[in-house]
Structure 1
Amino acid sequence: MAEIAYWEAIRRAHDEELAHDRMVIAMGEDIGVAGGTYKATSGLYQKYGADRIIDTPISENSYTGIGIGASMAGMRPIIEIMSINFALLALDTLINAAAKIRYMSGGRASCPIVMRTPGGTAHQLAAQHSARLARMFMSTPGLRVVTPRGPLDAYGMLKSAVRCNDPVIIIEHESMYNMRGEVPDTETFRPLEGAEIVRVGTDVTLIGYNYSVHLCLEAALKLAAMGVSAEVLDLRALRPIDRDTIRRSVEKTHKVVIAEEDEATVGVGSEIISVITEECFFALDAQPVRVHAADVPVPYNRQLEKAAIPNVDDVLAAALKVLGRV
């Protein structure tokens, strides 16, 4: 095992998949000579050349469309979109082409493309670089949507996504690229489906994905100091959602908090509560509680930015609410 940064894990996955299959290419803005905004492709341009590590113009719809066409012709492109805000420009090709081509062709055509993109609030990148749009992609039939919480998933999910014949959206987080964690020295694949219990508990279930999993884990430590056993569930995949693991955890703890950095309206938290009420409503001893961002564009001002997004204390307060301690 080696401890590496999130960005290093992504770079390693790129390197291994590029070496494994000559049909794998990478495309995006500044991913070549510059090595990527977050260093996730650093050194790969020099190793594999301009035909496989392709610097593109600032034209997300165009190069995503080119990647989709290439994937239908036998290539396996990894598309990097610098910020999930800019993925809005590529929605036509992703939703109307990539997500639908297998169904509309009766299974005769597939689209094995991967789109990587960071979302979430970093440090004063303001509203146009801080979107959380997971709910938009998870509502689209035909797409897979995954959200790696650390280096191991960032590495293993990317490798699995490249070899998957479905279009896969990998949503990273701008604040996580320097996060460190252990990754096996040997080649490892991580599943593109299934939630994971990352801390076992009995009194309350804390559900998160991507960055919010870490808020849940920190809140669980504070709850433990109060004598509360919190179970932490990482959704990992937002499409498909692992309904069974959610149900089993809630049936064990009978109380649940869903934490996300996204706004609440029509969000991931809303969908999870729908799953819980449909699958295990009578297991609940208290109403589910959501922790989420304020319903405003993300402010540039640092203090306002911090006030607009949830933190560990918000998750803790929500847990105490469902436990009836406030």
Structure 2
Amino acid sequence: MRHPFKSAASALLILLIAGCGSSGPNTELERQQAGKSDTKNPFLQSEASWDNDEPGLFDDLFGNRKQEEQLAEQTSRIEQLERELIRRAAEGSAPSRTPERTAALEFTGVRNKVGVLLGEELAGSALGGQIGAALAGVAPDYPLSLVGQTELQRALRDARCGEASVDCARALALYPGLRVLSVVELAERDEDRLVLRIQEIDTALGIDYPAHAVHLPVVDAQVPRLSLEALGDKLLLSALERSRIAPWFTRAFAAEGEDFYLAAGAESGLKPGDRLAVRDGGKIIRSPSGSVAAWMPGAHKGVLEVVSLAGNDLAIARLVSGQAPREDDPITLAD
């Protein structure tokens, strides 16, 4: 559930947040969107806008007054709003639902699994916990299944991987069935801001995207909650865009008798009775520049049927016809 402060302030955020700080657009879609607007995002500031003399968030909100007065007034307004939100939450007031949030909550199809792995300096820290909480708060807004930090770390240990390289990420594609992994590391920190380095990996297709940076403001030694939620939105939006290169698929990570254990279940949108197609590999389609444009599954080898669900997001399937899946065979929805 999205945090009530963000729900109540959604109208303000729509006016203020236009983009996230990074080293530059990574896809053609992002470049086209970047060219449509020069609006600055006050919560994820780029390095250029942070250090120059242009008006910042306080000027945008309260006019051209002294920073001390602006900070005092903003703090007072936020405290009043938070008190009102707490009161409404106690009374059971429902959070606002934008059309996008409603669509995500009512999505009934299958969901790709994505994960955000925190680097050594962030994992176990207060800031790392805040990033994790922000991700969990915004995740319901997206048709994705977010794999938790603990499960990711355990899967990497089981694969005997010390870090999330492309080779190790392939193990995560088999189990827990991750599609896109975002590795977030602390690159720089000072009194006024911190810089995060973000590396995205398509674990199923073995694509290692160029790393980019995100800049977050620091106020009173803390990253504002809205900035953390904006970071969560950026990470999940990007993962959603990356996952659309290929249709949904999972793999069978184990077999026992007639049963095949799939790395997707209830949270991914599967249910008993679903028919799945076993595919003979797949093919990556590249653009003229050599970048990955799409992925096409191979020929049908067999058909599985989901007979039961297990754990939070696993399924047990049995072969209905054709050949049984191998470990590296993609398993898609049946036509």
TM-score by length of 2: 0.27
Larger Rg: 2
TM-score by length of 1: 0.27
Whose helix fraction is larger, Structure 1's or Structure 2's? 1
